Structures are given as structure tokens and as C-alpha cells.
């Protein structure tokens, strides 16, 4: 199996991608070795939007497919609970999409973590971040009123400005969010994503959240596997790679993940193979092409 090769970051607002990033879109014919995805020894971590669930025009329109819900429930049972969702959404939103299944979760890019025992821990400074977000929201609400194609999502201690409904406003969205990030650089970072710019607490990341959960039952002692689709998932990929784990990029785009699948539907189909079900091709090592 080949691993991904190196290429540079995409834009000036994108955090530097690890040196093993690639934009390859072709897939090899052979699956990864079965022992590498042994349900008995792997801890599963999943992003939500664009990974478990297809993206939608608005965050509140995202739905978890029924087949995906079923396969997650089976995986939760077979791993004795060693699966978690690691998302930019708040944990309450994660629960709403996965209901009735309730799993350990890291929300808001790791600013809040619900452990396997049910305890919820929020990052230091959460209250102050929430107050700052409320202040930053005012100019963004004015911007959205001026440009109805933009959508502001207030997550409590983070803000997301979506321009999926008006891609031509990417520059306006970027410059506005960058200005706010510069004004609040002591506590917030600018996080680009798929047709979105987000202001999130500075000292959190999906990679740190995964590492935290790996220190406790039922995740401890297992090989981590993380699947994600966006720039927000690269920190998780990098940390899981450093731990000798398995990383799967969903869709196209530069990534330091070792494997790729083309869509959330393909991820669900691959997860079914872990239960002995027949499905389309599992994640394949990326290969760079000139096509």
C-alpha cells in the first residue's frame, strides 16, 4: 500500500498542511490489510458533516442516512462503545443527528468533550469565549442582512460564516472573518472549511480531542482510526498518523490522511465490510494522477 505524497497548502488562510498532503483522487484496487481494521482492536473516530452524513445547503438540513445510523449502532456494540464523533458541531447537535444512538463526542472542534462515562467537560475560558462570540456576532449579522446568500451559525463559543449559498462572496466572507480573528487573536483562530470560514477557540483541535479520549476506556489500548472530509480534520489526521493509526479522507482535496473514500455513502459501505457484509470498495491508498 502506498501512502500519500507531499504538496503545499492551498491558500494563505489555510493552516499549513502536513508535508504528506496530497490532492490525489484515484484509488488503488486492493483494500488495506484486514488486521489494520480489526473491530476488536480499533477505536473509531468520525467527523459528522461530509463524513458520516452528506453535506446540505444549510447545517440544519443535514440528515444522517438510515443505513449509516444502523452501521454505527452495530459498531458501537461490537467495539464495546469505542466509537466517538469529533465534529465542529455542538454536542447537542451531534446527539440530535445520531438519536437515539448516544456516543462519546467532541464538539466545537474539541472545545467540549463528553466522555464515555457521560461527563461533559468544556475547555478553559468557555464562558469568556461565549461572551466574545456574542460581541463578534453583531457585525456578522449586519453582513448577512446585507448579503442574504450568507448564513451565520452561532455555536455558542464559535462562529461559522457559510457562503455555500453565495460562492461569489468568498472573498467578503474571508476578509470579514479574518479581521475579526485578528482583533481577537489571543483567543480565536480562523478556520477555513468547505464554503465556510469559522472562528473557533484557539487552543482546541480535533487531534487534541482524539488524544484525550484515547487515554480512557473504552478507547485506551486500541489503534485509533479517524475519518474526516475537511480542512478542520487535518489536525486529527496528523495526530492519529503520529500514533500509528489509520486515517481516511472522504472526498477530494489535499490531506495527510493515508487512505481515501469518495463519499459518505462509500464510508458507510466500507464500514459494513467490517461486519462481514458485501459492499463496494473499501478505502484505498491514494495515487497521484495527471488526470
pLDDT of 125 higher than 80: no
Residue 69: pLDDT above 70?
yes
Torsion sign across C-alpha atoms 265, 73, 108, 209:
negative
Which of 81-90, 128-137, 150-159, 236-245 has the least mean pLDDT? 128-137
Per the model's pLDDT, the better-predicted residue between 14 and 267 turns out to be 267
Is 60 exceeded by the pLDDT of residue 136?
A: yes
Phi and psi, residue 29, nearest 5°: -85, -25
Say if residue 291's pLDDT is above 80: no
Flag whether pLDDT at 11 surpasses 50.
Answer: no
Predicted local confidence at residue 265, as pLDDT:
95
d(CA 133, CA 211): 27
Helix (H, G, I), strand (E, B) or coil at 156: coil
288 has pLDDT over 70: no
Give 18's pLDDT tier (boundaries 50, 70, 90): very low
Does residue 278 register a pLDDT over 80?
A: no
With a CB cutoff of 8 Å and minimum separation 6, the contacts of 178 are 13, 190, 197
Q: Does the pLDDT at position 272 exceed 70?
A: yes
- Rounded average pLDDT over 260-270: 92
Summary mean pLDDT of the chain? 85
Catalytic pick among 47, 49, 95, 230: 47
Helix residue ranges, H only, the chain: 66-78, 91-98, 126-146, 170-183, 206-213, 234-242, 264-273
Contact yes or no for 1/282 (Cβ under 8 A): no
Is the pLDDT reported for residue 107 higher than 80? yes
36 within 8 A of 273, measured Cβ to Cβ:
no
pLDDT per residue as tens digits for the range 23-57: 333 333 234 555 568 899 999 999 999 999 999 99
pLDDT score at 283? 62
Task: Give pLDDT, residue 130.
Answer: 85
Q: Is the model's pLDDT at 70 over the cut of 90?
A: yes
- Better pLDDT: 26 or 157: 157
Strand order, beta sheet including 159-162: 151-154, 159-162, 196-201, 188-193
CA-CA distance, 59 to 153, in Å (whole number)? 8
Active-site residue flag, 47: yes
Amino acid at each position: 500500500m502506498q501512502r500519500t505524497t507531499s504538496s503545499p497548502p492551498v491558500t494563505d488562510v489555510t493552516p499549513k498542511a502536513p508535508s504528506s498532503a496530497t490532492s490525489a483522487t484515484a484509488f488503488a484496487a486492493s483494500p488495506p490489510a484486514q488486521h489494520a481494521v480489526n473491530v476488536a482492536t480499533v477505536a473509531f473516530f468520525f467527523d459528522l458533516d461530509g463524513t458520516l452524513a452528506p453535506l446540505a445547503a444549510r447545517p440544519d438540513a443535514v440528515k444522517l442516512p438510515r443505513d449509516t445510523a444502523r452501521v454505527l449502532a452495530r459498531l458501537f456494540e461490537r467495539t464495546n462503545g469505542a466509537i466517538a464523533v469529533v465534529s465542529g458541531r455542538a454536542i447537542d447537535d451531534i446527539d440530535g443527528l445520531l438519536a437515539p444512538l448516544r456516543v462519546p463526542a467532541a464538539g466545537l472542534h474539541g472545545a467540549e468533550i463528553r466522555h464515555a462515562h457521560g461527563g461533559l467537560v468544556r475547555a478553559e475560558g468557555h464562558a469568556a469565549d461565549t461572551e466574545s462570540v456574542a460581541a463578534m456576532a453583531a457585525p456578522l449579522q449586519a453582513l448577512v442582512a446585507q448579503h442574504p446568500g450568507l448564513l451565520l451559525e452561532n455555536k455558542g463559543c464559535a462562529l461559522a460564516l457559510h457562503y455555500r449559498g453565495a460562492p461569489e462572496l468568498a472573498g467578503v466572507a474571508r476578509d470579514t472573518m479574518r479581521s475579526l480573528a485578528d482583533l481577537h487573536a489571543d483567543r480565536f483562530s480562523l478556520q477555513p472549511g468547505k464554503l465556510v470560514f469559522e472562528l473557533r477557540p484557539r487552543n482546541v483541535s480535533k487531534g487534541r480531542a482524539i488524544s484525550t479520549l484515547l487515554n480512557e476506556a473504552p478507547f485506551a489500548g486500541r489503534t485509533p482510526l479517524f475519518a474526516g472530509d475537511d480542512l478542520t480534520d487535518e489536525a486529527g489526521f496528523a495526530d492519529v498518523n503520529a500514533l500509528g493509526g489509520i486515517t481516511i479522507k472522504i472526498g477530494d482535496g489535499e490531506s495527510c490522511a493515508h487512505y481515501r473514500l469518495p463519499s459518505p455513502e462509500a464510508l458507510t459501505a466500507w464500514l459494513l465490510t467490517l461486519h462481514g457484509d458485501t459492499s463496494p470498495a473499501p478505502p484505498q491508498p491514494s495515487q497521484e494522477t495527471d488526470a
